[in-house]
Structure 1
Amino acid sequence: MVQRSMTRNQLHDQNLKFVLQQVFNNHPTSRIEISHRLHLNKSTVSSLYNTLMAKGYLKELGYGDASTAGGCKPTLVAINQDYGYTLTFDLGYRHLHALATTLNGKVWKYDRVQTRDQSIHEMVTQIKKYIGNVQAEDESAHGLLGICFSIHGIICDNQIQTSPFINMEDVDLVKIFSTAYHVPVVLENEANLSAIYERDFNGARELNSTVTISIHRGIGAGIILHRSLFRGEHGDAGEIGQTVTRLEIDGEGQATPVRAEDISSEDAIIHQVEEQKGLHDLGREDIVRLYRQHDTDLAVILQRFTIAISSLLYNTMRTLDPDAFFINSPLIEELPELLEQIRAGYRRLAHQDFPIELTTNARLATVLGGCSVITHQVLGLNGYALKFERIPEKF
């Protein structure tokens, strides 16, 4: 392939993005620090700095300490969090999770709205109402900058291909919200967003390739390979819940596939307990309560669950060979003993230990991953690594 050199304008735009990236990742910083990090001369950095200041992206914070060699004190600068804000919505099947973050990735507002049994049209109405309330509180210079939606389904080319838990009824979220608010709107799979959260906010910052297993109503995997999200050619990469674990043959010789999420998703656990005990309408809190009561039926079901997840991790390891696994599971977060059982099960299969960690702040993982995605988009830094501040575990 013939490589063409960049034009002056292309080089300027690239350097402008590098400077913006440096400010985001090293706040507060200064022009002299940026110059050293990027190996650009001071006059070039000052020109780029002035461009970003004129756009309103940066905010000066005062003077820092002079160097040991003396000289003028540097002016410290950071991303201007008063420039505007982004919104991320996780369209869950029981709740709508809503997160507002300022341009520097700081959490401004988080809310959970009950949406159980609501149609997608009712959910859209709820979202618009929420946006209106946020806009009424906003005092930033530019207001709403972009919206990200976390979808429990398959996304390709920013459109929903399948949505197994919510009937979308041909509702085009991108068209509805980009038309109503004149901002970029991005759709992404919830497991992918959990993986982005680990990469940009949490435990995978220094790792090259990771897989985040999301265990909720179904099972999905967010795959980070060489620091980039891997979606596959049609958005199907990571749909490991659809992995066939065995075939059940009926009396007529017909084979029915049993998939991983049929036996080891959170909903599968609840369904098995309901069948075993003749109960109805159980939830995660009921599973936790039965576990605390040392229920023997549940103990058998959870043993099968941990074995199944261990096997799923082992098979994924043999396929993708990541640096580590992360598990996003509110149930395991409630019952961390299950994580130790999964690790032990993996160890028996692989004959060695491997990093298997629990995603902290699981309820916020997808919306924080969405914050990263939409912040990259708004700043024009897609493909550039941004480091967000860790969120306290008790947030």
Structure 2
Amino acid sequence: MADVQDLFGRLPEAGPTRAANRRKVLLAVAIKSGTQADIAYRTLLSQATVSAAVRELVEAGLVPGTKERGKIVLSPVNDVGVGVHLGTNHTTVVARRLDADFDQVTSRVSSEGVSRGWHRALPEVRQMIDAAIAGTGGRRSDVFSLGIAVPRMINPRTGGFTQPILPPWREGDDPAGDLGAWLGVRTFIDNDANLGALAERTYGTREHAETVVYVKASTGIGAGIIVHTSVLRGHGGMAGEIGHLTVDPNGAVCQCGGRGCLETVIGADALIAQVHGARTRNGAPVLETLEQVIAAAHARDAVCMRVIRDAGRILGQSLAQLCNLLNPDLVVLGGRLAQSQLLLEGCRESLQRFALPGAVVENPQFVLDSSELGTWAEAQGALILGLRGMEYAGSNA
């Protein structure tokens, strides 16, 4: 059976450029099978270069000599890719053999996140990774790549948290270093909204959308922005931090030190507080989690329906400004809050009211929709990140 990792150390006579192109094509196919034209589009290589790289991969036994339904796929391999989403109140792990389709993942989910502290969460995260790997039929030694998604800003130049480091993370926390050393692989980390955008852009039905905005609405609020195939991160990894846009200059103080940030108005804690304030006046049972609020809204609880729809309207106002600035083709709502259709409805109302018509209403290319990948988007994006990073890791990974 061929091994992806072995290829990174083989065929040195190919020269650095040819070897780099071969790695790029190999990892693009591992992320998602596709036609030669698809691979050329994703890698920004010419079709002639892709064709040459595929021939070398066929010779190495990593790609079959005949295409499957017109698509380039990997031959059977043992290698496993892993993606981890370390949420504040949830943890999701996905693992996939690289020769399997992107949706054939094994997963483990925990309702415990890193709110208890990273070092207290670490043992359970390791157990979840081991269980997900075992679900693929593999072992820990088969792990080829690891990517991590966190709901915090990550400096793309250092791979560490961008200042200020906000709770529950603390100075010195290094999830990529800790998990990478444990697994023995080079590990890559990024903001979870960025990786949600990467997954939607890669695995959604609108892969060829030029500009994609993914909004994660959950405990906090963030946005990931994809232009063509590149994540827009900014110099310090702060691009897309819409949760810290000021929407009420006299509002509540945010954990970032600002006042009246969007997150203080429509983040999970703010919505639960609104529901609690209304329901205690009529003696109704107290709802303590965002999931309970969403479930009550689905059951047509008047208070919860109003709170979520209004949250959508407020979010839509910020997205209208984003649409005026970026003119995206696609805006995707993800995160736990997006599980309610009421959020989408509220967003659409505000976009029609506040966005420039040419950016939204009169733009035939524009789409606002909920996530196709649901709560798996960030972990799937982390898996993609890990594979993309291996393009540059080479045989030293």
Query: TM-score band (shorter)?
Result: 0.7 to 0.9
TM superposition score normalised by structure 2: 0.76
- 8 Å contact from structure 2 (residues 25, 54) kept in 1: no
Residue 315 (1) aligns with residue 321 (2)? yes
Spell out, residue by residue over 1:293-319, the C-alpha distance to the aligned partner (whole angstroms, 9 max, x if none): 544433443343122111011111122
Spell out, residue by residue over 1:332-364, the C-alpha distance to the aligned partner (whole angstroms, 9 max, x if none): 32x314313321221122345242111123210
Aligned twin of 1:126:
124
Q: CA RMSD in A?
A: 3.6
Q: CA deviation at 1:111?
A: 1.0
Q: CA deviation at 1:230?
A: 0.6
Farther-moved stretch of structure 1 (100-109 vs 133-142)? 133-142
Distance 2:87 2:286 in 1: 21
SS in 1 for 2:197: helix
Distance 2:139 2:65 in 1: 18
- 8 Å contact from structure 2 (residues 212, 226) kept in 1: yes
Match of 2:219 among 213, 217, 242: 217
- 8 Å contact from structure 2 (residues 25, 50) kept in 1: no
Residue 39 (1) aligns with residue 25 (2)? no
Aligned twin of 1:345:
350
Aligned twin of 1:97:
92
Instruction: Mark the CA change 1:179 to 1:329 in structure 2 (over 3 Å): closer, same or farther.
Output: closer
- 8 Å contact from structure 1 (residues 84, 141) kept in 2: no
Percent identical residues? 18
The one-letter code matched in structure 1 to 2:289 is: G
Instruction: Mark the CA change 1:170 to 1:346 in structure 2 (over 3 Å): closer, same or farther.
Output: same
Instruction: Mark the CA change 1:45 to 1:243 in structure 2 (over 3 Å): closer, same or farther.
Output: closer
Q: CA deviation at 1:170?
A: 1.9
SS in 2 for 1:357: strand
Aligned twin of 1:48:
56
Aligned twin of 1:147:
146
The one-letter code matched in structure 2 to 1:346 is: L
Distance 2:31 2:151 in 1: 30
1:109-120 to structure 2, matched below 5 A, reads 109-115=106-112, 118-120=116-118
Aligned twin of 1:85:
80
Spell out, residue by residue over 1:252-281, the C-alpha distance to the aligned partner (whole angstroms, 9 max, x if none): xxxx83111111223321121112223655
Instruction: Mark the CA change 1:282 to 1:199 in structure 2 (over 3 Å): closer, same or farther.
Output: same
1:221-240 to structure 2, matched below 5 A, reads 221-240=223-242
SS in 2 for 1:158: coil
Instruction: Mark the CA change 1:205 to 1:63 in structure 2 (over 3 Å): closer, same or farther.
Output: closer
Aligned twin of 1:302:
308
Distance 1:274 1:286 in 2: 12
Q: CA deviation at 1:374?
A: 1.0
The one-letter code matched in structure 1 to 2:121 is: M
- 8 Å contact from structure 1 (residues 83, 141) kept in 2: no
Distance 1:167 1:46 in 2: 43
Aligned twin of 1:364:
376
- 8 Å contact from structure 1 (residues 219, 240) kept in 2: yes
* Count of aligned residue pairs for this structure pair: 352
- 8 Å contact from structure 1 (residues 89, 96) kept in 2: yes
SS in 1 for 2:161: strand
Match of 1:188 among 187, 190, 194: 190
The one-letter code matched in structure 2 to 1:264 is: I
1:40-79 to structure 2, matched below 5 A, reads 48-49=56-57, 52-53=60-61, 58-60=62-64, 78-79=73-74
- 8 Å contact from structure 1 (residues 264, 305) kept in 2: yes
SS in 1 for 2:331: strand
TM superposition score normalised by structure 1: 0.77
Instruction: Mark the CA change 1:119 to 1:28 in structure 2 (over 3 Å): closer, same or farther.
Output: closer
Q: CA deviation at 1:149?
A: 1.3
Instruction: Mark the CA change 1:344 to 1:13 in structure 2 (over 3 Å): closer, same or farther.
Output: same
Q: Which has the higher strand share?
A: 1
Spell out, residue by residue over 1:184-218, the C-alpha distance to the aligned partner (whole angstroms, 9 max, x if none): 11111010011001111114401111111111111
1:327-342 to structure 2, matched below 5 A, reads 327-333=333-339, 335-342=340-347
Instruction: Mark the CA change 1:81 to 1:208 in structure 2 (over 3 Å): closer, same or farther.
Output: farther
Match of 1:273 among 272, 275, 283: 275
- 8 Å contact from structure 1 (residues 93, 165) kept in 2: no
Distance 1:194 1:264 in 2: 19
Q: Which runs of 5+ in 1 are unaligned?
A: 1-6, 66-73, 251-255, 383-395
Distance 2:227 2:67 in 1: 40
Spell out, residue by residue over 1:44-93, the C-alpha distance to the aligned partner (whole angstroms, 9 max, x if none): 6686235643xxxx15376889xxxxxxxx9x963135231021111122
Farther-moved stretch of structure 1 (121-130 vs 297-306)? 297-306
Q: CA deviation at 1:372?
A: 1.1
Q: CA deviation at 1:29?
A: 7.2
The one-letter code matched in structure 2 to 1:108 is: V
Spell out, residue by residue over 1:222-268, the C-alpha distance to the aligned partner (whole angstroms, 9 max, x if none): 01123310111001111111001122299xxxxx8311111122332
- 8 Å contact from structure 2 (residues 297, 304) kept in 1: yes
Instruction: Mark the CA change 1:139 to 1:311 in structure 2 (over 3 Å): closer, same or farther.
Output: closer
Instruction: Mark the CA change 1:59 to 1:11 in structure 2 (over 3 Å): closer, same or farther.
Output: closer
Residue 285 (1) aligns with residue 294 (2)? no
